Structure 1
Amino acid sequence: MKAAAKSSVKKVVLAYSGGLDTSIILRWLQDTYQCEVVTFTADLGQGEELEPARKKAEMMGVKEIFIEDLREEFVRDYVFPMFRANALYEGVYLLGTSIARPLIAKRQIEIARQTGADAVCHGATGKGNDQVRFELGYYALQPDIKVISPWREWDLNSRTKLIEYAEQHQIPIAKDKRGEAPFSVDSNLLHISAEGKVLEDPADEAPDYVYSRTVDPMDAPDVPTVVEIEFEKGDAVGVDGERLSPATVLTKLNELAGANGVGRLDLVENRFVGMKSRGVYETPGGTVLIAAHRAMESITLDREAMHLKDELMPRYAKIIYNGFWFSPEREMLQALIDKSQERVNGKVRLKLYKGSVSVIGRESADSLYSMAHVTFEEDDVYDQHDAEGFIKLNALRLRLGTLRDNRKS
């Protein structure tokens, strides 16, 4: 779709962090589109003070400013449904950036309706995945919305030009923002990611200063931490015997796992737009949570239900990575996944030690594990003679195939 016609935009809702880039975008929108700008700043647990964003928006003449704490909604309605699927993109990535975008897009559209805005704007570049994720969300929720993507329109294509623009328009620049940042960061309650600049060469080890949520595993405590997570219908509802809200569960697990160096990932991934990129991710609580959830499923899910989920998981993860959260195929898969979680209840104990997560115990009133059947001692519930017929029936097609081949040789 072509960029929104500049004369046709009356009011735009901007996803606004208060940082240099989105502050420049705010002023650029005012100058280029001659429109009213509404700012929306979401607290998804990125750990930054958000009130400065309000003051900066006020200083730049914004009259409608939305700053919202969405941490509980983020974990409850986006992170937890994704974790019920054990979603991993390309086998390892826990989708921390991907899963935040649909919530931001949804709130932008809701605010646009509330304020009478006819356009929305994001600060994602024209090279990455986020532009796709934001805009697929916008169009899915409001097909006729006008979308403005400054990085695809303007000529401020270097750090120098951005700084010059900010200085020309009296946009405050923090001293540490005048130089080129060593890498780009995205963060929320689930993860923090770093990419670009010093990380662009995948042959080079990431510098220590890239990591901020996890201690170096080599410096982690010499004594392991044991944590117990309680599940109800596939969602974590408590840690170490204490019932907690979704966001508080993840916050607690982040603290425990981060202190033990758990959750680091250095990945070269395939972007939806076609290129490969190198990212360094820290997902401490999520790394523990997915290990615990799989352990909980191991004793409560039927074998074929579990295997079907595992077959569908890569498709589900790809759907989220590519930005199709609001698609019919994701909703269909989610219904199947949620159905599978009805009996995923119980407790899992894990040991966190110097970057590793080990499951050491699991229990459930809905367990399918039968000690009477698996014991190596004498039992009265399993007739081992039955295995002979089972094996012969399963071997029948193999035997017939070999007999045929032997006849032809």
Structure 2
Amino acid sequence: MADIKKVVLAYSGGLDTSIILKWLQETYGCEVVTFTADLGQGEELEPARKKAEMLGIKEIFIEDLREEFVRDYVFPMFRANALYEGVYLLGTSIARPLIAKRQIEIAKETGADAVCHGATGKGNDQVRFELGYYALNPDIKVIAPWRDWDFKSRSDLIEFAEKHQIPVAKDKRGEAPFSVDANLLHSSSEGKVLEDPNVEPPAYVFQRTVAPEDAPDEPTIITIGFEKGDPVSIDGMALSPAALLTKLNQLGHDNGIGRVDLVENRFVGMKSRGIYETPGGTILIAAHRAIESLTLDREAMHLKDQLMPRYAELVYYGFWFAPEREMLQALIDKSQEHVEGEVTLKLYKGNVIVIGRKSAKSLYSDEIVTFEDDKGAYDQKDAEGFIKLNALRLRTLRKLRGS
């Protein structure tokens, strides 16, 4: 790795990646290109530019990727109703492939021979970033400082920063209470005050939602419109993907929706406790399942539900660009061709309650399902043969084997 000439760094402008930037310059004597993505994390990004300039960076990329993030990554994942381990809406996981893709593209544009991320050696993100890099450029060189450098603690990092005149925010002096990752889909908080899974998280951990008990006493009623499995409108107003998710986030925030306290199994083999807030996503997945209940054939729906855990696992593990994820996506997208219509929801104190759904392509038939006279649409006598055929093997087993 000593022959590295130029590296594209995924750069937030925070303490860790600023130290990484300087460490790259010192360790490899290489040119550094910074890439900062606006994925809706809610932070001002110009300070990242100024800090990069202060550290002597000439090529600085700061890009608004919110629409691409929601349209090409979040929405395809939500067509699958993806939940890792039945709970986690994969907010951090789904952001990594887009960042990796742009790093590889910028490396090509700038002639860089390496890319670098700031993920630690204990987490999932190192895997997600690097699987993305290698899938898109098999020959790229990857630098993961947390696996290579000699720093052992936060105080080591601060000492290095002060030595090189890297600004250190006052709240970074000493041990941070917890680690935060955020984008337009979610925020996640891990570590320090959250490490004991038997201790309730302090109120200040939550950033994206009011406490359910503090939410309004009156419910909020909204209607989400869908086309081909994707949400396209709220209360009849057409919105772009990022604008729609932003609106749902605000509605979820106000009504205390989307909090998850989870102990999950990391890909690297350990369990970790995380606090996730996914207000808009929690509303969206409930609405999507509701419109699918009207428009998807039973066996198509059941097949999707069987495949969902595998799909979610692929996203969580970092295999977004793998052929098996793309194959599953093609199947899922095919299933969404007729998933359109409107779903009406009641948002109330942490709950998302479906109260209505309609579709011009609904497979629900009043004529067949009614308890009143169905005028011959369904012959109940047919059920007798259906039941006997399905019972045949059970009756045979009992006769041959007894009790």
Flag whether TM exceeds 0.5 (same fold): yes
Amino acid of the structure 2 residue aligned with 1:153:
D
Partners of 2:143 and 2:17 lie apart in 1 by 13
Partner of 2:125: 130
The partner residue of 1:390 within 386, 392, 401 is 386
Q: Which residue of 1 aligns with 2:322?
A: 327
| 1:113-192 mapped onto 2 (5 Å cutoff) | 113-192=108-187
Give the counterpart letter for 2:399 in structure 1.
Answer: L
| Equivalent residue in structure 2 for 1:404, among 390, 400, 403 | 400
Q: How high is the TM-score relative to the length of structure 2?
A: 0.99
Shift of 1:106: 0.1
Alpha-carbon distance in structure 2 between the residues aligned to 1:42 and 1:383: 60
What's the CA shift string for 1:271-303, capped at 9, x where partnerless? Answer: 000000000000000000000000000000000
Amino acid at match of 1:390: F
Q: Distance in 2 between matches of 1:102 and 1:127?
A: 19
Partner of 2:76: 81
CA distance in 2, matches of 1:227, 1:205: 31
Structure 1 stretches of 4+ moved >2 Å: none
In structure 2, list runs of 5 or more residues that go unmatched: none
Cα distance in 2 for partners of 1:201, 1:52 equals: 34
In the alignment, structure 1 segments of 5+ residues that lack a partner are: none
Q: How far off is 1:405 after superposition?
A: 1.6
2:64 corresponds, among 64, 69, 72, to 69
Kindly indicate whether residue 237 of structure 2 is the aligned counterpart of residue 242 of structure 1.
yes
Identity of paired residues, percent? 80
Equivalent residue letter for 1:401:
L
**Shift in Å at residue 181 of structure 1?**
1.1
The SS at the match of 2:185 is coil
The equivalent residue for 1:311 is 306
1:268 — aligned with what?
263
Q: How many residues align?
A: 402
Cα distance between partner residues in 2 of 1:157 and 1:146: 24
Q: Does the aligned pair in 1 maintain the 2:155–2:174 contact within 8 Å?
A: no
- Secondary structure of the residue that 1:310 maps to in structure 2? helix
Tell me the SS of whatever aligns to 1:68.
Answer: strand
> Partners in 2 of 1:321 and 1:176 — Cα distance?
31
8 Å contact kept, 2:225–2:234: yes
SS in 2 for 1:104: helix
1:179, distance to aligned residue in structure 2 (A): 2.6
Provide the rounded CA distance (Å) in 1 between the counterparts of 2:199 and 2:356: 38
Alignment of 1:1-40 (within 5 A): 5-6=1-2, 8-40=3-35
Task: Give deviations 1:60-98, integer Å, cap 9, x for gaps.
Answer: 000000000000000000000000000000000000000
Give the Cα–Cα distance (whole angstroms) in 2 for the partners of residues 315 and 168 of structure 1.
47
* Contact 2:10–2:117 under 8 Å retained in 1: yes
User: Which amino acid counterpart does residue 84 of structure 1 have in structure 2?
Assistant: R
What are the Cα deviations for residues 211-235 of structure 1, in whole angstroms up to 9, with x where unaligned?
0110000000000001110000000
Q: 1:234-290, CA deviations, whole angstroms, 9 ceiling, x for partnerless residues? A: 000001110000001100000001100000000000000000000000000000000
Q: Hey, what's the Cα distance between the residues in 1 that align with 2:170 and 2:96? A: 29
Within the alignment, does 1:216 sit opposite 2:205 as a pair?
Answer: no
TM norm structure 1: 0.98
Between the aligned partners of 1:237 and 1:189, the Cα distance in structure 2 is: 17
1:296 to 287, 291, 296: 291
Q: Which amino acid aligns with 1:392?
A: K
Secondary structure, aligned partner of 2:35 = strand
- Alignment check: 8 A CA contact 2:83 2:308 kept: yes
